[in-house]
Amino acid sequence: MMMDLDTLEEAAALVYRVVPPTPQYCWPLLSRRLGAELWVKHENHTPIGAFKIRGGLVYLDAVRRSQPDIHGVVTATTGNHGQSIALAATQLRVDATIVVPFGNSIEKNRAMAGFGARLVEAGRDFQAAFEHAMELAEREKRHFIHSYDPLLVRGVASYGLELFRAIPDLDVVYVPIGLGSGISGVIAAREALSLATEIVGVVAANAPTYALSFAAGAPVSTNSADTMAGGLAVRVPNPEALDIIRRSAARIVTVSEAEMRSAMRILFSDTHNVAEGAGAAALAAAFQERGRLAGKRVAVIQSGGNIDRALFAEVLAEQDAE
């Protein structure tokens, strides 16, 4: 999935009609903890609190142009992708139906409905919701939106361009992996700018499909993805995303639930930013690898801050091991 700089610039310009560039800050307390110069790319500062909105805007703009009489769209999500499609659909006056698994984040569900989407609950996890959404789209003759698509990647690559242009001499960037659009976008931006920055993917230990697939050199599905990090709760990898990650990422780091929860607390105490589990995963990975980062310039992607209040309160109340 090669994307030249002109293509990414065009997509970024479309994104900026709705979403201004997000900041990247070097937080001194975080840098001190890590023992390296640490930058945080704050995708939790978008209108939906996550990076996904960038891809939704670019994708639906293309669909609206190619299918002016479109009846509506359907997609499946655990939250941030759904908010992206819901908001973008509202902007472009397209009817959106979002399928979520039972037990999904209450506050993410409220946000999607608030942006104007019809919400449908089905299945026990993302994969089951995804399969139901495909059936629903066929039955209702609606356009189905996968959670991974080159157009989505083209849009989310805009945050990679922002980061690399702000700090062009980064040594390494840690990027959380859900289905793969975020890390694919960062890779696309790095390659379009001809940089040598190392890109490291991050997955949850309880949802290791991409780590297993990366090691095996082929897709490896899992039977469950039982993690509090909804954005990482994937058990079937996307083959196209996996191919890009295998070719262009240095490695994949697996982080535990405890490590993500600790990183959420650290982000709040050191920066007063709220991170959901997936949004804290990259920082957790950097801390896990702190021994190899001394003296380097490091960035982590805080991919989102959409966590239910009760869960966040529970995480904040926990004590870190000394």
For residue 223, what pLDDT is reported?
A: 86
For residue 157, what pLDDT is reported?
A: 98
Q: 82-133 pLDDT, tens per residue? A: 999 999 999 888 899 999 999 888 888 999 999 999 999 999 888 899 999 9
Q: 223-233 pLDDT, tens per residue? A: 888 899 988 98
Domains along the chain? Answer: 5-50+150-317 (3.40.50.1100), 53-145 (3.40.50.1100)
For residue 27, what pLDDT is reported?
A: 97
SS3 98: strand
For residue 70, what pLDDT is reported?
A: 84
Residues 6+ apart with CB under 8 A from 4: 192
User: Starting at the edge strand that comes first in sequence, how are the strands of the sheet with 73-76 ordered?
Assistant: 118-121, 96-100, 73-76, 143-145
- Which backbone phi and psi does 176 adopt, to 5 degrees? -70, 145
First CA to last CA distance, the chain: 45
The model's pTM is 0.93
Low-confidence ranges of the chain (pLDDT < 50): none
For residue 142, the one-letter residue type is: R
For residue 321, what pLDDT is reported?
A: 65
For residue 230, what pLDDT is reported?
A: 86
* DSSP-derived pairing of the beta strands 73-76 and 143-145: parallel
SS3 44: helix
Single out the residue of 279, 316, 314 nearest to residue 300, CA to CA: 279
For residue 1, what pLDDT is reported?
A: 61
The CA distance from 223 to 134, in Å, is 20
- For residue 262 the two structure tokens come to 């600790």
